[in-house]
Structure 1
Amino acid sequence: MAALDVAPAARRGRPGYDQNSMLEVIVEVFVDRGYDASSLDTIAKRLGLSKSAVYHHFTSKAEMLEIALERVLGELERVFDDAEALDLPAVERIRRIISEAVLVACARQQYLVLLLRLHGNSDVELNAMARRRELTARLSRIFEAARAEGGARDDIDPALAARLTFGLVNSLVEWYRPDGPDEPAALADTVLAFVRSGMLAADGRGPR
């Protein structure tokens, strides 16, 4: 997966500001107040800019949301693409996806919070929610493949396994702190061990 700190080229505008640094603050506003309740005036005040200066970097509030959601959805989709491109047993693909998804959740914590709090009140939100559902469906299919290969339990529905796995990963946004004692790589190992303990096949194989 591409390094998480590599972002698309920022749109240049007023000296001292760029789209990437502004987006961090905008996402904070969306998370604090909710997307629908976040006015351009509130965003501009939080940034310390005029509304016209904000519009120099973004065409609309919807574009702000779309770019922000891409920061997390695009990373997660690349995690799946990278794993599925490899000629590996399904359990190994699951291992890679879970580990990398945890790293994305830690690196893009506020962006993931924003994604999880969408209400579907706009086309941008509906599209993002559809992409999120497709990620769950992709993980479900890989769990199904792992079960067919004998690497996962056959008494747990793959769709339920996928939802529970993403539920565990998503829960990190509620308590993970970048300045806390938990290192993302160690958290990835712990989450993987937790999933493995519930999905081991009878012969002991599973997403190691």
Structure 2
Amino acid sequence: MTTTTEAPRRGRPGYDRDGMLAVIVAAFNDHGYDATSLGIIAQRLGLSKSAVYHHFSSKEEMLELALEKALGALEQVFDSPQATEGPADLRIRHVLRGAVRVACEQQPYLTLLLRLRGNTDAQRHAMERRRAFDQRLRRLFELARDEGALREDMDPGVAERLTFGLVNSLVEWYRPDGPMTPDELAKAVVAFVRSGLRVSESRDYR
């Protein structure tokens, strides 16, 4: 029996579905998800409304696919062996490096995630997944404290909030054409967090 592989659906010439999603996310970030109408999306894509619905079943599906870009990438970071095995301070370093790369490489999608207000089921589910990252990083700081790698006067919950606050701020000012690559920026963030929280001063982080 002969099988055929369905070619990726394409929108306006030059767009594949991911390309369309990037344009849609830019519209969401410019206008806010709730205020972005199908008309705005269709105009940005240069398509009719019905043509947009040929590629996406709803605006909610567009949002879910967009949020998965950031959430899925962050889950891969937290689920990797380097984040789940070994000394807590080294696991924190890996998580920080990965989170910075996600912030840089998935910047529009993380921006969208950070601006959610929880007005729909998809938004609430995404915010729950985001809170799970907060809890997992907090637990790593608790382990670092128990292992003597976190300064005693620093609460793990505060350490988590400060750290993710720093990483999340990258969506506001990082530019792909700027002077630092994501890897260079990740090293700088790790060094900054280590100096402030004393995540194992005895280890070599070069």
Bigger CA radius of gyration: 2
Q: 2:201 aligns with which of 187, 201, 204?
A: 204
Residues 107-186 of structure 1 mapped to structure 2, 5 A cutoff: 107-186=105-184
Q: Secondary structure at the match of 2:80?
A: helix
Cα distance per residue 1:12-31 (max 9 Å; x no partner): 24574421110000000000
Q: 1:42/1:10 Cα in 2 relative to 1: closer, same or farther (>3 Å)? A: farther
CA contact (8 A) 1:71 1:108 kept: yes
Q: Secondary structure at the match of 1:106?
A: helix
Provide the rounded CA distance (Å) in 1 between the counterparts of 2:7 and 2:88: 37
Amino acid of the residue matched to residue 135 of structure 2?
A
Q: CA deviation at 1:83?
A: 4.3
- In structure 2, what is the Cα distance between the partners aligned to 1:207 and 1:122? 45
Paired residues of 2:77 and 2:83 also in contact (CA < 8 A): no
- What is the TM-score when the length of structure 2 is the normalising length? 0.90
1:25-174 matches, within 5 Å, as 25-83=23-81, 86-174=84-172
Q: How much does 1:42 deviate?
A: 0.5
Cα 1:132–1:196 shift into 2, 3 Å: same
Task: In structure 2, list runs of 5 or more residues that go unmatched.
Answer: 1-5
What is the RMSD of the two structures over their aligned residues, measured on CA atoms? 2.0
> Does structure 2 conserve the Cα–Cα contact (< 8 Å) formed by 1:12 and 1:57?
yes
Query: What SS does the corresponding residue of 1:165 show, helix, strand or coil?
Result: helix
Distance 1:175 1:127 in 2: 27
Native 8 Å contact 2:150 2:198 kept in 1:
yes
Counterpart residue number, 2:186: 188
Deviation at 1:131, TM superposition (A): 0.8
Residue type at the aligned position of 1:128: A
Give identity over the alignment, percent. 59
Which portions of structure 1, spanning 4 or more consecutive aligned residues, are displaced by more than 2 angstroms?
13-18, 83-87, 203-208
TM-score (norm 1): 0.90
The gaps in structure 1 that reach 5 residues or longer are: 1-8
Partner AA of 2:145 in structure 1:
R
1:56 to 1:11, Cα distance in 2 relative to 1, 3 A: farther
Distance in 1 of aligned mates of 2:81 and 2:158:
21
